[in-house]
Chains A and B, each alone.
Chain A
């Protein structure tokens, strides 16, 4: 592979900025252009539902790199610039407004957009979603102490926003379609532990129900649910999931609802084009084709794609890891386990301090979830990568170092 002359990164995101930085770290001295649709330089999003939302830290503290870093490293950061179309034959991206930008290698890090709820009244002022720093600031401005806020959806974003709003002194009511918090990802047993924590912090929770309509005269004043509840409120935050932003790939066949498909090395079927982060549906050596929306994944994929764009052939095989901070609790999860056959727990669910291992029908550890028990999640990486079948009693025993079970499981 010849050395590329210019590399364009689409997405002024954590994954995109990490890719650009890695290109320079690797000594690439060609042209690097980083296109960001938002007005700000790339920033980390986790704080938007926590420290930034609560006003404890300004967004500047969450910038991936200081603003001057880009010029200092000859990375052409173009904020407020959206790439709208890929022209693979010409090896160009078309920008909003029609200008074209040529590339030798392209790294797509366009991320996700939020799913929206189509309900009468959904365009009323006072109804928010959360993805950008601007969204976070808007929610903050509506979340004065004493304000009554309805959080629609109790996945990770909903749960973190609910926690932050309670910490700000807002009244919080949750409307969640499933039977408990975080049900889809963590299942009912762990979900109920988190439900208990939110209840203890004064969150009112409505499960197995959805929004039928919003009411208000010029501004949202109430949420009406399918079951007929009417919840008066001053603001609503909707967090009901995401869909990948794949429009750039229109015409290539890769603009798929499940994300842009990439092979093990993060390269797409379009020559010279890679996809990373939330938008990439990656053929993972252990988990198969999956798309995840984790901070750590964005960082690591960005780095690997950059090295591979420079001629490397590194297979991305990270076991995946993320965290969620709610009140003074921390959840961590590793692996990928949309379903599981059996859960083995060390520690105590009821005691709200545990590490749970999610096993498939063959006893293979597919995922690990902890609450205020962080060390073992990171120590389980080896088990997950090796698809180990460890002894269940050893898993449940807090005294057993998980790292010693990797070879035992393989035997």
Chain B
């Protein structure tokens, strides 16, 4: 059963950027690249830095500004050390000008 929750408005997440949202107890980042949305944990699995603030997006990858770990925003997989553990990713959709994710 789908349980999508609204996290913000579509224009909260401009193209090419990631934005942080607090959803229940989760820190979630939502990024938009080439029109596609990605929702993932905003907390780096290496030293718990926030990814959306200062993270650099290249294609479907985001790098952590603290220590350079890179994650695949679609799968959460670590693509470059020092992180060796994945981050959580969430289903995301856009409806009626709102961004919704499923936790």
A residues whose Cβ falls under 8 Å from a Cβ of B: 14, 18, 21, 44, 64-65, 295-296, 299, 303, 321, 323, 330, 374-375, 378-379
Q: Is the CB of B84 within 8 A of A65?
A: yes
The residues of A that contact B54 with a CB separation of less than 8 Å are 374-375
Question: Is B23 close to A, CB under 8 A?
Answer: no
User: Please, how many angstroms separate the alpha-carbon atoms of A303 and B66 in the complex?
Assistant: 20
The residues of A that contact B65 with a CB separation of less than 8 Å are 374-375, 378
Cβ distance A22 to chain B, nearest Cβ, rounded Å: 9
B residues whose Cβ falls under 8 Å from a Cβ of A: 54, 56, 63, 65-68, 81-82, 84
Complex partner residue of A378 from B56, B81, B82, B84, CB under 8 angstroms: B56
Cβ distance B56 to chain A, nearest Cβ, rounded Å: 6
Knowing A295-B67, A378-B63, A378-B65 are in contact, say whether A303-B81 is a contact too (CB < 8 A). Answer: yes
The residues of A that contact B66 with a CB separation of less than 8 Å are 323, 330
Please name the residue on chain B nearest to A375 by beta carbon: B54
Cβ distance B19 to chain A, nearest Cβ, rounded Å: 15
Cβ distance A217 to chain B, nearest Cβ, rounded Å: 42
Q: Is the CB of A323 within 8 A of B67?
A: yes
Cβ distance A384 to chain B, nearest Cβ, rounded Å: 15
Please name the residue on chain A nearest to B46 by beta carbon: A44
Please name the residue on chain A nearest to B66 by beta carbon: A323
Cβ distance A57 to chain B, nearest Cβ, rounded Å: 9
User: Please, how many angstroms separate the alpha-carbon atoms of A14 and B84 in the complex?
Assistant: 13
Knowing A18-B81, A44-B82, A65-B84 are in contact, say whether A296-B56 is a contact too (CB < 8 A). Answer: no
Please name the residue on chain B nearest to A325 by beta carbon: B66
Which 4 A-B residue pairs are closest in the complex by CB-CB distance?
A299-B81, A374-B65, A374-B54, A296-B68
Q: What are 5 A-B pairs at a CB distance below 8 A? A: A14-B82, A21-B84, A296-B67, A296-B68, A330-B66
Q: Is the CB of A321 within 8 A of B68?
A: yes
Cβ distance B51 to chain A, nearest Cβ, rounded Å: 13
Cβ distance B90 to chain A, nearest Cβ, rounded Å: 25
The residues of A that contact B63 with a CB separation of less than 8 Å are 378
The residues of A that contact B81 with a CB separation of less than 8 Å are 18, 299, 303
The residues of B that contact A378 with a CB separation of less than 8 Å are 56, 63, 65, 68
User: Please, how many angstroms separate the alpha-carbon atoms of A249 and B66 in the complex?
Assistant: 35
Cβ distance A343 to chain B, nearest Cβ, rounded Å: 23
The residues of B that contact A374 with a CB separation of less than 8 Å are 54, 65
User: Please, how many angstroms separate the alpha-carbon atoms of A378 and B54 in the complex?
Assistant: 10
Knowing A323-B66, A374-B65, A375-B65 are in contact, say whether A299-B56 is a contact too (CB < 8 A). Answer: no
The residues of A that contact B84 with a CB separation of less than 8 Å are 21, 64-65
The residues of B that contact A44 with a CB separation of less than 8 Å are 82
The residues of A that contact B82 with a CB separation of less than 8 Å are 14, 44, 64, 295, 299
User: Please, how many angstroms separate the alpha-carbon atoms of A330 and B67 in the complex?
Assistant: 11
The residues of B that contact A18 with a CB separation of less than 8 Å are 81
Cβ distance A406 to chain B, nearest Cβ, rounded Å: 14
Cβ distance A307 to chain B, nearest Cβ, rounded Å: 14
User: Please, how many angstroms separate the alpha-carbon atoms of A74 and B92 in the complex?
Assistant: 39
Q: Is the CB of B68 within 8 A of A375?
A: no
Please name the residue on chain A nearest to B82 by beta carbon: A299
Please name the residue on chain B nearest to A296 by beta carbon: B68
The residues of B that contact A299 with a CB separation of less than 8 Å are 68, 81-82
Q: Is the CB of A379 within 8 A of B56?
A: yes
The residues of B that contact A296 with a CB separation of less than 8 Å are 67-68
Cβ distance A377 to chain B, nearest Cβ, rounded Å: 9
The residues of B that contact A64 with a CB separation of less than 8 Å are 82, 84
User: Please, how many angstroms separate the alpha-carbon atoms of A16 and B74 in the complex?
Assistant: 30
User: Please, how many angstroms separate the alpha-carbon atoms of A65 and B67 in the complex?
Assistant: 16
User: Please, how many angstroms separate the alpha-carbon atoms of A16 and B66 in the complex?
Assistant: 22
User: Please, how many angstroms separate the alpha-carbon atoms of A303 and B70 in the complex?
Assistant: 15
The residues of B that contact A379 with a CB separation of less than 8 Å are 56
Cβ distance B48 to chain A, nearest Cβ, rounded Å: 10
Cβ distance B81 to chain A, nearest Cβ, rounded Å: 5
Knowing A44-B82, A299-B82, A303-B81 are in contact, say whether A375-B67 is a contact too (CB < 8 A). Answer: no
Interface centre among B63, B81, B84 (most CB of A within 10 A): B81
User: Please, how many angstroms separate the alpha-carbon atoms of A378 and B70 in the complex?
Assistant: 13
Cβ distance B22 to chain A, nearest Cβ, rounded Å: 21
User: Please, how many angstroms separate the alpha-carbon atoms of A64 and B84 in the complex?
Assistant: 8
Cβ distance A192 to chain B, nearest Cβ, rounded Å: 25
Known interface pairs A64-B84, A303-B81, A375-B65; 15 further A-B residue pairs with C-beta atoms within 8 A, sorted by A's residue number: A18-B81, A44-B82, A295-B67, A295-B82, A296-B68, A299-B68, A299-B81, A299-B82, A321-B68, A323-B67, A330-B66, A375-B56, A378-B65, A378-B68, A379-B56
